[in-house]
Structure 1
Amino acid sequence: MSTPSGRDKRPASSPLSDDEIPKRSCDDSADSSYLFDPDATIVDKAFLSSTILDVGAAMSIKDELKSALRDPELLDIISKAVAVQVSAQMRSEISDLKKLIAKKDREILLLKDEVDNLEQYSRRNCIRIGPIPESDHENTDDIATAIAKSIGVDIGEAIDRSHRIGKPPSPTDPNPRPIIVKLTSYRFKAAIMKARKKLREVNVTKVVPSAHWPVLTGAANRHSPGSRGTALAPKVFINEDLTRTRASVAAKARQLKRDKKITDTWTRDGVIFVKSLGDAFHRVTTLRELEVLDT
């Protein structure tokens, strides 16, 4: 049955057709949460409201702090409290750094001592002879062999190598450089060190005639007291080849002997021996150990 307008009236309870369901474009994806959570709009509003309240509270606290900091007395109290806190923290950090530095210093000293021990061990077959004047085209192997023979030690072919060590003589430092001799075996070095005291009785000018020995007179002439113009050598030494550190220790020990703070000192196998005033023997290899005896 048709209506006067010619259109069919759909009952109010009838479902909508697919063509009449409202469509949402793909651009509405930001608002599509309502399809899954009908209360999403309410939650968003609640979150926004709480955020506004938090911001408001923060602004209120900020204003209160600004107002409080205008009070000079309160500002002074806060400044002192901050300074105390910072100072305590800095003192703690400085204390920790000092402990760390002290630990590193101890480790460095131990490493230096270990390096010095290794270096000294590498020199265990070496001796130094001097002072013997230098000359052109000299043969240090021949000089060392002659000196050793003069004290009763025949080193024969036991020299590995020999040479002068240090800077050449100059007008400001005319002293001849010592001769360093590396032997092929420790037993030759030990024999020379044991017999070296015999050099006190040796006229080395005859042992090494090629050297330009200075002319000594009077008391300086050890072999002909009272004579003048005789070409004789000054005292010649045979010493162990020590590292720079141990050479400093040995020199310091000799100074203590001259100052009569110790009775005697000598070296053996790179170790400095010291005899104290109480006749006690001490082995030292570092200045730290020697300073204990000097106190």
Structure 2
Amino acid sequence: MVKRLDTDNIRISRLYSNVEKVNEDVKSNTTIVNEIDTEVGTLFKRIVELETRLENQEQYSRRTSLRFHNIRVPIDPRTGKIPHPINTDIYILQVCNSKLGLNLTVNDIGRSHVIGKVKNGKSQVIVRFLSYRTRSKVYTNKKALKGDADGIFITENLTQYRTGLTQKLSDLKYNHKIFAYWTSDGRIFAKTTEKGTKKLIKNYDDITALETTTDDDNQQQEPDLSPGTTNQNSDENHNNGTY
């Protein structure tokens, strides 16, 4: 009986030692995992920062360009496509000078070309102006196109990511979940109520936060009427294909 107890005690002692070793291994591995998690978190944050910088640089590279929508272009009746080459500068100058009341020449345009598909003889034309000042003048005067017979309107040339943000905001505006949204120099703003505080939208998290904002969270503030902004607060603007 005593011998059996001694044997059991030895086994228990060995098991205890094994448990202690396992506990030490677990602690060591936990430390390693925590260090890896910290490193991964740091790297992820760095990636986000680099992606943000890249996104900002891409948008900055578009600072002198605009998109003209619903521009009438010639169509080859045999193919239904645009004959190439096509001088889109002429159509842009017609809009800028005849409809916006400006006095631009071909020397103000660096390059323009059709982008996207043609629909009902109309297409989108992207234009890069030779100076930001000229681009700003055109964008500021685009309000003259409101109610245009051809449905022509002008938007900023946003990156794919920012275009996605504005499309999401457009859906919210259409469903009356926000009052307005607009862009200015590539930055996106939105308001949940007419007199609410404008919010800078940088990512989809900002839009989620905007959706959960209550009227009590909005301070009394006059609408932003600074030059170079577009206030998307009407169904007409939405139907025109906001950004």
Using the size of structure 2 for normalisation, the TM-score is: 0.70
Instruction: State the shift of 1:124 in Å.
Output: 0.8
The separation in 2 between residues aligned to 1:144 and 1:237, in whole angstroms, is: 12
1:5-58 deviations in Å (ceiling 9; x for gaps): xxxxxxxxxxxxxxxxxxxxxxxxxxxxxxxxxxxxxxxxxxxxxxxxxxxxxx
Residue number among 103, 109, 112 corresponding to 1:159 in the alignment: 109
The separation in 1 between residues aligned to 2:128 and 2:102, in whole angstroms, is: 15
1:42 alignment counterpart: none
1:252-294 deviations in Å (ceiling 9; x for gaps): 2222222322211111111111112361112223333333222
The separation in 2 between residues aligned to 1:164 and 1:103, in whole angstroms, is: 43
Q: What residue ranges of structure 2 are gaps of 5+ in the alignment?
A: 1-6, 74-81, 213-243
- Summarize the alignment of residues 131-210 of structure 1 with structure 2, pairs less than 5 Å apart: 131-132=70-71, 134=73, 135-137=82-84, 138-149=86-97, 150-156=99-105, 157-166=107-116, 178-204=124-150
1:207-262 deviations in Å (ceiling 9; x for gaps): xxxxxxxxxxxxxxxxxxxxxxxxxxxx3321000112221222222222223222
- Establish whether residue 240 from structure 1 lines up as the match of residue 189 from structure 2: no
SS at match of 2:191: strand
1:79-130 deviations in Å (ceiling 9; x for gaps): 3222211111111111111111111111211121112222211111100112
Using the size of structure 1 for normalisation, the TM-score is: 0.58
The separation in 1 between residues aligned to 2:210 and 2:147, in whole angstroms, is: 34
Letter in 1 for 2:125: I
SS at match of 2:126: strand
Q: What residue ranges of structure 1 are gaps of 5+ in the alignment?
A: 1-67, 205-234
Letter in 2 for 1:281: K
Q: 1:179 to 1:88 in 2, by over 3 A?
A: same
The answer (yes or no) to whether the contact 2:71–2:91 under 8 Å persists in 1 is no
Coordinate RMSD, CA, aligned? 2.6
Identity across matched positions, percent: 26
- Aligned residues, how many? 193
More strand by share: 2
> Taking CA–CA contacts closer than 8 Å with sequence separation of 6 or more, which of the two structures ends up with the larger relative contact order?
2
2:219 alignment counterpart: none
- Establish whether residue 116 from structure 1 lines up as the match of residue 64 from structure 2: no
